[in-house]
């Protein structure tokens, strides 16, 4: 199965998601999106595949989201894409793409919905939280 994760290694949720993918025996394509940002077209395609408005996959905390006025009503998608291109930290993470779909995996266990291989009986996150993946 082809799996791509848009990953930030400084983010616990992203690290847990990557570990969950690997726990199923899959080695994903890892894109550290702060070092190698996706293009505007890639972002648009990911968001369209998710079926959500672009603003819902934008990160507010610890980003220039508010100071750039990105929460304003009626802001065109092109303005949001321009902002993400200039400030990749605005793209929330982790985003995972597989043949089964594309999701912003917050919480990290949402990734199991995108995987079709064997799952661990229990996965233990970095903070000790135990996750029992559904079949």
pLDDT tens readout for residues 122-133: 999 999 999 998
Q: What is residue 135's predicted lDDT score, i.e. its pLDDT?
A: 65
Residue 49, φ and ψ in degrees, nearest 5: -65, -30
Which helix (H) or strand (E) segment holds residue 98: the answer is: strand 95-98
The residue annotated as part of the active site, out of 11, 31, 47, 131, is 11
Provide the number of structural domains found in the chain. 1
Segment 51-62 mean pLDDT? 95
Domain that holds residue 8: 4-131
Q: Tell whether pTM > 0.75.
A: yes
Which helix (H) or strand (E) segment holds residue 44: the answer is: helix 40-50
Segment 24-36 mean pLDDT? 97
Assess whether 105 carries a catalytic annotation. Answer: no
Segment 26-34 mean pLDDT? 97
pLDDT over 70 (residue 55): yes
Q: What is residue 73's predicted lDDT score, i.e. its pLDDT?
A: 87
Tens-place pLDDT, residues 76-99 = 999 999 999 999 999 999 999 999
| Average of per-residue pLDDT values in the chain | 95
Q: What is residue 134's predicted lDDT score, i.e. its pLDDT?
A: 79
The domain that contains 52 carries what CATH number? 3.40.30.10
Between CA 104 and CA 8 the distance in angstroms is 13
């Amino acid at each position: 199965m082809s799996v791509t994760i848009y990953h930030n290694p400084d983010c616990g949720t992203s690290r847990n998601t990557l570990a969950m993918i690997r726990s199923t025996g899959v080695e994903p394509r890892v894109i550290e999106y702060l070092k190698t940002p996706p293009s505007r077209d890639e972002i648009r395609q990911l968001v369209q595949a998710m079926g959500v408005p672009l603003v819902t996959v934008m990160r507010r905390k610890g980003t220039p989201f508010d100071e750039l006025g990105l929460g304003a009503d009626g802001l065109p998608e092109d303005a949001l894409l321009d902002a993400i291109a200039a400030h990749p930290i605005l793209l929330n993470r982790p985003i995972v793409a597989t043949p089964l779909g594309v999701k912003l995996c917050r919480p990290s266990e949402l990734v199991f919905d995108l995987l079709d291989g064997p799952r661990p009986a229990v996965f233990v996150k970095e903070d000790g939280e135990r996750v029992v993946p559904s079949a």
